[in-house]
Amino acid sequence: MSGVTEETPAAELERARESGRPVARLPRWERHLGWLYLVLLLGAVAWLAWFPRLANAYNVTLALTVLLVIALATSWNILSGFSGYTSFGHAGFFGIGSYVGALLIFYERTSWIPAVILAGFATALIALVIGYPTLRLRGPYFAITMLGLSELARIVVTAWDSLTLGGQGVYLPILRLEPPVTSGPLIDQLRNVVHNNQNYYAMLLLAVVAIVVSYAVGTSRFGLELLAIRDDELAARAMGIRTTRIKITAFALSSFFPGAAGAIYARHVGLIDPPSVFLVIWSIRAIATSILGGQGTILGPIIGAIVLTLVTEKVWETDPNLYQVFLGGLIVLVVLFIPGGILALLQDRGWLPRTRRI
């Protein structure tokens, strides 16, 4: 037998009847789930695109943070959620992407939009290079290795001060804001809003692309092969799945988005240095978000990002020192009491169908 095949709902239903197992029918709307996702995504994007016209600077920045976490968590989920290879490397990819994008702008090699794209491809290329040796490890060995590589990247960036400016950090030009346009043609008002919120719209586009890629992976044969690797890699290899190629491809896809997000973040804050962009908290946020929402799902990282970011924002307002304690404690509580995350809890109660397309 070569490869993995996914049964149609009718075939699975017939097989369940023959085996005498109880059959739980999926709701009729589940067959239209793809279209439902498309409508929800378009509606959310339209509302978020209009949001800066309605909100103040603080709320726009908070929304940008939510989109950043969605991009990080969704991309982490592509590798770790679907294949089971828990990675702490997102902090490293985020930091590398921040520096690639920032240095391209600082040395005036390119404008900021190409810098963001090149930062993403740079981290994806690094993932391709280190993927073969590191993905031969599994479990805590892979996690520790990725954590070590992130720390190695921080040390290299700090020491290579002739290029990266070392510990003094990289300053980027501040975006010059135009006076708000509240009258006149609507197109001029929209152009004014987009100009004054370029980083926000770039992060929105990146988050949307990450979600679309996650859906494509989760509903494809490629995603099914990743799930087979997660369940039993030896059995998947015996079935003819090219596990090494599948894992490296997922690793490269997963690493593109933190690199691009890091470049947008660098331009947004205007100053980056190794201690701020290589913090392990970037990996922890991606992991905690996916676990809270439901790793190995499409909607889980999105739900987790919204809930976790808004809650942690309140925690930060109360006491900044409790922030990391809260994230660590949340991971422990979720693993102990709802290991499948919010989506699994909803599925157990029958509010959502049990399908990998969720």
Is the CATH code 1.10.3470 the one for domain 31-277? yes
Look at residue 268 in the predicted model and tell me its pLDDT: 93
Look at residue 18 in the predicted model and tell me its pLDDT: 56
Distance, CA of 108 to chain centre = 29
In 3D space, the residue among 289, 319, 323 whose CA is nearest the CA of residue 306 turns out to be 289
CA distance 67 to 75: 12
Which residue type is seen at 285?
R
Burial 146-166 (b: 16+ CB within 10 A, else e): bbebbeebbeebbeeeeebbe
138 strand-pairing partners: none
Tokens representing 285 are: 């946020």
CA distance 244 to 250: 10
Tokens representing 289 are: 């978000």
What number of other Cβ atoms are within 10 A of residue 277's Cβ?
A: 26
Which one-letter DSSP state was computed for residue 43? H
Q: In sequence order, which residues have a C-beta less than 8 Å from that of residue 88 and are 6 or more positions away?
A: 143, 144, 146, 147, 150, 280, 283, 287
Q: Number of H helices and number of E strands within the chain? A: 18, 2
CA distance 330 to 333: 5
Look at residue 323 in the predicted model and tell me its pLDDT: 72
Q: Tens digits of per-residue pLDDT, 120-166?
A: 999 999 999 999 899 988 888 999 999 999 999 999 999 999 999 98
In 3D space, the residue among 97, 129, 127 whose CA is nearest the CA of residue 258 turns out to be 97
45 strand-pairing partners: none
Which one-letter DSSP state was computed for residue 299? S
Whole-Å CA distances, 30 to 38, 124, 328: 13, 34, 35
Look at residue 30 in the predicted model and tell me its pLDDT: 67
Look at residue 95 in the predicted model and tell me its pLDDT: 96
Whole-Å CA distances, 309 to 30, 62, 103, 104, 289: 29, 8, 29, 30, 9
Look at residue 1 in the predicted model and tell me its pLDDT: 41
Helix (H, G, I), strand (E, B) or coil at 170: strand
Q: CA-based angle 347:352:355, to the nearest 5?
A: 80
For the chain, list residues with pLDDT below 50.
Answer: 1-13, 16, 23
Q: Tens digits of per-residue pLDDT, 345-357?
A: 888 887 777 766 6
Which one-letter DSSP state was computed for residue 81? I
Which residue type is seen at 48?
L
Contact, 262 vs 98, CB < 8 A?
Answer: yes
